[in-house]
Amino acid sequence: MRALGNDVLDFVVDFIDARATAPAADLDHPLPSDTDDPLDYIKHAAAKAVDPAGPGYLAFIPGGGLYTAALADFITAAVNRYTTVAALAPAFVQIERDTIRWIADLFDFPTQAGGILTTGGSMANFSAIVTARDAAGNANRQGTIFVDDQAHHSITKAAHLAGFPREAIRVIPSDDQLRMDLDALEKAIKQERNASLVVASAGTTNTGAVDDLDAIADLAHDNNLWLHVDAAYGGFFQLTDRGKDRLTGINRADSITLDPHKGMFLPYGTGCLIVNNGDALRKAHTAGAEYLQDLPDVGLPNYAEYSPELSRAFRGLRIWLPLQLHGAKAFEQALDEKLDLAAHAYDRLEQTQQFELPWEPELSVVAFHHPDGPRILDEVNRSQRVFLSSTTIQQRHTLRIAILSHRTHQERVDEAVDLLEKAARAE
């Protein structure tokens, strides 16, 4: 065991050490013709991919793959404790509860708040919608959900899976800053007799836009609607002073989705839902099982009662251990750097006078237009130094720089802008 473990550790350390010079994407990397040496095959398989763990991954919303979280996952898999029922591993369940409480405290949620660590934002949004649906009571079980045209597609997917018909989902237009249009939302609420839920965004995928959460909270509470905030991308900027200012009002939400595998740079598969009324979350997901009748109540949450999952990984350690080893201040500083880098990229792109930049970054995504955008994107990505992506906003092709890897620093952002400028000049 030790020899194999040492081989794996050597591979992981070498892999991480190589991120600065590795291709940002190398989908043409050749694979061995056989798998006689499994670890060698794994090395090549890892290389045949885009590289979210590297500094040049500026596409979509990156997940960084923090090494200390990987160590936590190694421990979790090796000890293999079942943490869905508290009595079976109470010390680990305490770690998970403390981790969720730490996240809830970031948003000043009350002591009766509850939460669940999920596979990601999609499952968190699903459980939030189920909780909101059940909290509304049977009369509003199929009530109207209000989302805007920049909302993540997991919201509408979750609503369908939760039993809401497509006609129950009202899409509110966004304003010129790609935030939910408040006048349109207020008008839509007044037109609906069966309104039940408003979903606001704290960091959209397209541009990182943050809705006016305070004003939306006013509308939601005045009309007795559940307010869910999808902060999967932007929520952990709450750790910073600037982020807290930009997320003003988020603490008034009934529920919040967050992705530690985004804003805390953890491995994919780390999401979170926190709910202001933890009992509502539990009631929406509880189902009895007679075969558990012998297990005592140990005064800790049974997470089987807070989620659709019964067999679930112990996700708390991959958040708790990095916090213990690095401290919350390290995450705050890293996120502050990402805000600085996005502002720097925006300024440099503006100085080139080659690109149209309609929106200043609120968080760490910079979105911009160029009439020859698809060609520029292809040329930049072929460099293999950075990997960018595009989207379509208001029927226009839009390039994006999404900065959220803990390994991305100013020199790589400058290199990305240099490549963009060079490609734009070559038209």
Rounded to an integer, the average pLDDT of 322-344 is 98
Per DSSP, helices labelled H in 54-171 are 67-79, 90-106, 121-135, 153-161
Q: What is the DSSP letter of 266?
A: P
Per DSSP, helices labelled H in 232-327 are 241-246, 260-263, 278-285, 316-326
Structure confidence at residue 427 (pLDDT): 65
CB of 380 closer than 8 Å to CB of 420: yes
User: Token pair for residue 281?
Assistant: 């979350």
What's the CA gap between 14 and 10, in Å, rounded?
6
Structure confidence at residue 234 (pLDDT): 97
Q: What is the pLDDT of residues 269-327, one digit of tens each?
A: 999 999 999 999 999 999 877 777 778 889 999 999 999 998 999 999 999 999 999 99
Structure confidence at residue 262 (pLDDT): 96
Q: What is the pLDDT of residues 199-232, one digit of tens each?
A: 999 999 999 999 999 999 999 999 999 999 999 9
Q: What is the pLDDT of residues 372-381, one digit of tens each?
A: 999 999 999 9
Would you place residue 193 in the very low, low, confident or very high pLDDT band (cuts 50, 70, 90)? confident
Cα distances from 130 to residues 107, 114, 196, in angstroms, run 22, 15, 12
CB of 162 closer than 8 Å to CB of 133: yes
CB of 380 closer than 8 Å to CB of 386: yes
Partner residues linked to 393 by β-bridges: 396
Structural domains of the chain, with CATH: 73-325 (3.40.640.10), 328-425 (3.90.1150.10)
Rounded to an integer, the average pLDDT of 49-67 is 91
Per-residue pLDDT at 70 exceeds 60? yes
Task: Say if residue 226 is exposed, middle or buried (CB neighbours under 10 Å; 0-12, 13-18, 19+).
Answer: buried
Would you place residue 139 in the very low, low, confident or very high pLDDT band (cuts 50, 70, 90)? very low
Residues near 120 by beta carbon (within 8 Å), at least 6 away in sequence: 232, 259, 261, 268, 269, 270, 271
Nearest to 301 by CA among 56, 117, 47: 117
Q: What is the pLDDT of residues 107-117, one digit of tens each?
A: 999 999 999 99
In this structure, of 27-36, 76-85, 199-208, 231-240, the range with the lowest mean pLDDT score is 27-36
Per-residue pLDDT at 5 exceeds 60? yes
In this structure, of 163-167, 272-276, 315-319, 397-401, the range with the lowest mean pLDDT score is 163-167
Rounded to an integer, the average pLDDT of 328-337 is 98
Rounded to an integer, the average pLDDT of 253-275 is 97
As a whole number, the mean pLDDT across the chain is 95
CB of 281 closer than 8 Å to CB of 114: yes
Tell the residue number behind the tokens 């350690």, with chain if given: 317
Which amino acid, residue 232? A
CB of 140 closer than 8 Å to CB of 194: yes
User: Strand, helix or coil at 145?
Assistant: strand
What's the CA gap between 265 and 211, in Å, rounded?
24
Structure confidence at residue 34 (pLDDT): 87
For 390-413, b/e burial (b = at least 16 CB within 10 A) is eeebeeeebbbbbbbbbbbeeebb
Give percent above pLDDT 90 in the chain.
90
Q: What is the pLDDT of residues 141-162, one digit of tens each?
A: 568 999 999 999 999 999 999 9
What's the CA gap between 59 and 394, in Å, rounded?
20
pTM as predicted? 0.96
Structure confidence at residue 141 (pLDDT): 58
What's the CA gap between 132 and 130, in Å, rounded?
6
What's the CA gap between 142 and 196, in Å, rounded?
8
What's the CA gap between 259 and 255, in Å, rounded?
14
CB of 247 closer than 8 Å to CB of 234: yes
Per DSSP, helices labelled H in 223-277 are 241-246, 260-263
What's the CA gap between 162 and 132, in Å, rounded?
10
Is the Cα torsion angle 224, 250, 309, 168 positive or negative in sign? positive
Structure confidence at residue 231 (pLDDT): 98
